Structure 1
């Protein structure tokens, strides 16, 4: 009986493989870590061969725990870290032994040059996104200018999970979720944009076909079956990026729902039928055919990490820092924290700085800690308001995940600042559950991926806004916004100080 699904997640820190049953329960999961290669400041690379080794080892480890699963796996679905440009030769060999990752910043000068040449209004409708060094389009520009020999040997460019799919099946494709965040896909047609290729001076010949995430890409090769213990001929899906897969696996699958993923950063995503074309908003195609409009704060949980290090030299746990913050009143006695410790991802002020504003003699450490939690939520709420205005749709519920979802205080602060109830998925491995939901629908066990996700995803108790806190935060939000905008004139001055 084919009643299990194998999910593979190629993350930045590890590869994970998991067996999921028909109720969305993870029966077994195994991971294999890998390191980032940092040849110099701003660069970030990894080896695709290490990813593949992690895939085979983690699958083998999972099957060692459930050896009978080999015959029960109905389909395999992979997801992975997005934006990494794997250069593949026509013979299937790597044209470069390492890959520029999503957080590689070496293409920043190319982004700046692009923004000087093109106004956002002239390209947003062709790209679906504002410019950022994360996008593969700019990485390919850098490779063209700095590693032309490798690019000349390249027959096709794949994303990390696409390379794993190639090793699993021998088939080459890229899915719509990944292509939508390449800066090279036309959001209207869902095909590669000749307009953007011309703007960036790139050749369409190296781009693979774009397929939908839920399609069957191919079947497992016999040699891979021998190496892993899987069954040859097992269907393998096209799959998607880890981020849109996690949206599906957290139940964020229709307009009106918003995802708050707070780890080191904070990503706020609202589902919309069409991309929201705004210079402060990015857009990713979802696994279901609609769009996730998202904003990213570089500093989310990293704000609490900074406070723990700066004020306590890491001597306290995060739980102890949060307990300290809980003793402060809502609003932190009028103290504001602007959470731009690592600048901004998008827009004109990527050099934004963090700051406390409004410190008075009656403030104590607890107020400083609570204001960090509130500041991240104020910054996220500013972007939520932008998305609501762009879409014309009021958001109904936030699904919170990531490390930040472990703090009950932070959840209540966010619900009260957003003015929207929050829920937390009981299973934190949302990308794995998303892969399983996609696989279950692909083999006909559910009518759609959304139906599978609805069956698989269960939530904790809903966190409602606190009316008293909400009244305080509604008065503070406009002040936070003005502090942020008024500070922008000083960021260049701080850069020039270079102290």
Structure 2
């Protein structure tokens, strides 16, 4: 029996899961970490924290699966995009990693867009203009604000590239993550010379370009010693976490649509060709499957509810510590008691800016319509409804591009909440499916790519068809359609009306 270790390098945790050659999960482990936020809008993490967490999660997963390191045929990686690591000439980190959600480079992103123009950027990258989270802006910020670090950096690399180096000695990356570096061309699959010249970086400072799901090589003796793995094990470069998650819930063909509500809300619609949105709203990425693409939107998600729990739910956390009932389960129970529409309470959930289709790094969270009648449960439900409105907006923005959403496959922590899943079905008017592989979808997607490369499955599509099944379906409730139609209209009016305040710097001080 062959076993594959799928590792998901997430925003606030690393999850590792062991799968056998039938795609069955044999054991898994999630290990969390806390991001560093030294200034508003910043998000960092010590690079060694990623390494230590990878090792802890991987060994715990193998132990739970009853599998030893020499039984692992291959390791597949699902990695967050954009998180950037600066390495010196000895490939040692020069500073903490700048995490993808860090928006310190707003001015730099605006300057890059001013120089190149939205259309030129979209033509080369598939992205409708610049965003502060893209690595190109981060590099320009480093050049201006940390010139010593910039000048000493021998390699600029994302997480999967760093781990491929530590494990195999080869520093590599692949299409789905390179899409948003903004110095890689989605048409040629090569680095974009004009952007590199502008940033004053060279190809020698960047990782080797590979295709999604390509094998990097066997683990070196040094890598085996560091990670406690075998030199017979092959490392697969994998793909972007959201691409792997989509693959892991069977989103492999046009007509399928996946919603991942984890730290952020991310949606994926698979398309057969590169689509450049003329409205400059929706970005297009390489998917986890070479030759296929995905319209991929992302914004604030579960981190908003986590913020609410951490700041306002001390009682629920105390009960969780003293019993088996999680704070989120308590919140869900109270949310069910509140009527759809929250008695007029509306929330805008963009605590750290908003992503596509309404990209705006200056947006912030807002509660609107608060009255004396509103209780804590109303505020929690308003968060869930606000995320559902963002989901609906993402679907709306894809429709002019020929995407027809007939069903939604849910994954991520948000998919564990029955009330939230039903709410999303009601708010969008689309059936919402929870797949059998939801719990470890990103790990499974990475494992499928590694399994295809090692000959276990013929293709990602074949593997997904064999392994992924629907466990539950939430059908839209027609009785609340009017409530959510009105809420969506009000939410969009409120969000657009607040732009005058977002654009006024005095409101951001």
Report TM bin, short chain: 0.7 to 0.9
434 and 198 in structure 1: CA distance in 2 versus 1, 3 angstrom threshold:
same
2:280 aligns to what? 279
1:36-81 Cα shifts (integer Å, max 9, x gaps): 3444444333333443344444444455566754443222212323
CA distance, structure 1, for counterparts of residue 87 and residue 328 of structure 2? 43
Separation in structure 1 between the aligned mates of residue 337 and residue 381 of structure 2, nearest angstrom: 9
Question: Which has the higher mean CA deviation after the structures are superposed, 29-38 or 359-368?
Answer: 359-368
1:405 aligns with 2:404: no
Deviations 1:317-368 (A, max 9, x none): 4334333332333334555433334432465743334445556787676655
Matched, 1:137 2:136: yes
- 1:318 maps to 328
Match of 1:81 in 2: 80
Matches of 2:377 and 2:55, distance apart in 1 = 48
Partner of residue 483, structure 1: 494
Partner of 1:396, secondary structure, is: coil
The equivalent of 1:288 in structure 2 is 289
Moved more, 278-287 or 438-447: 278-287
CA distance in structure 2 between the partners assigned to 1:110 and 1:122 by the alignment: 17
Whole-angstrom distance in 1 between the partners of 2:96 and 2:342: 47
Q: Which runs of 5+ in 1 are unaligned?
A: none
- What residue is the counterpart of 1:120 in the other structure? 118
1:448 aligned residue:
459
Say which SS state the counterpart of residue 240 (structure 1) adopts: strand
Counterpart contact for 1:71–1:231, Cα < 8 Å: yes
| 1:134-177: CA deviation from partner (whole Å, max 9, x where unpaired) | 21112222233344444444443221121111111112221111
The answer for the alignment partner of 2:180 in structure 1 is 181
Q: Which secondary structure does the structure 2 equivalent of 1:461 belong to?
A: strand
TM-superposed deviation, 1:439: 1.4
Q: Retained in 1: the 8 A contact 2:8–2:442?
A: yes
- The aligned runs of 1:457-496 (5 Å cut-off) are 457-493=468-504, 495-496=505-506
Please say if 1:386 is aligned against 2:385.
Answer: no
Of 100, 119, 143 in structure 2, the residue corresponding to residue 102 of structure 1 is 100
Q: Does the 8 Å contact 1:63/1:229 carry over to 2?
A: no
Cα distance, 1:448 vs. partner? 0.5
CA 221–307 in structure 1, closer or farther in 2 if over 3 Å, else same: closer
CA distance in 2, matches of 1:44, 1:220: 31
The alpha-carbon deviation at position 415 of structure 1 amounts to: 0.9
Structure 2 CA distance for aligned equivalents of residues 71 and 381 of structure 1: 46
Tell me the alpha carbon deviations over residues 437-479 of structure 1, each in whole angstroms, 9 at most, x when there is no partner: 1111111111102221232223321111112222432344334
Corresponding position: 1:425 with 2:435:
yes
User: 1:383 Cα shift?
Assistant: 2.2
Q: Distance in 2 between matches of 1:68 and 1:410?
A: 36
2:213 corresponds to 1:196: no
3-state SS of paired residue (2:383): helix
Per the alignment, do residues 306 and 106 of structure 1 end up closer, same or farther by CA in structure 2, a change over 3 Å counting? Answer: closer
How many Å apart are 1:433 and its aligned residue? 0.8
Measured after TM superposition, the shift of residue 422 of structure 1 is 0.8
Does the Cα contact within 8 Å between 1:159 and 1:174 map onto a contact in 2? yes
Aligned equivalent of 2:323: none
Instruction: Provide, for residues 197-247 of structure 1, a one-character-per-residue CA deviation record: whole Å limited to 9, x for no partner.
Output: 345444333222311122111112134334555332322212223222222
Q: Which residue of 1 aligns with 2:322?
A: none
**TM-score normalised over the length of structure 1:** 0.88
Structure 2 contact 132–361 (Cα < 8 Å) conserved: no
8 Å Cα contact 2:269/2:403 also seen in 1? no
Hey, what's the Cα distance between the residues in 2 that align with 1:243 and 1:166? 22
Q: CA 1:481/1:95 → structure 2, altered by over 3 Å: closer, same or farther?
A: closer
The answer on whether the counterparts of 1:177 and 1:244 sit within 8 Å (CA) in structure 2 is yes
Aligned residues: 494
- Structure 2: unaligned runs, 5 residues or longer: 318-326
Q: Distance in 2 between matches of 1:405 and 1:168?
A: 33
Alignment of 1:369-380 (within 5 A): 369-380=380-391
Q: Kindly report which structure 2 residues correspond to 1:187-226, keeping only aligned pairs within 5 A, or say none.
A: 187-226=186-225
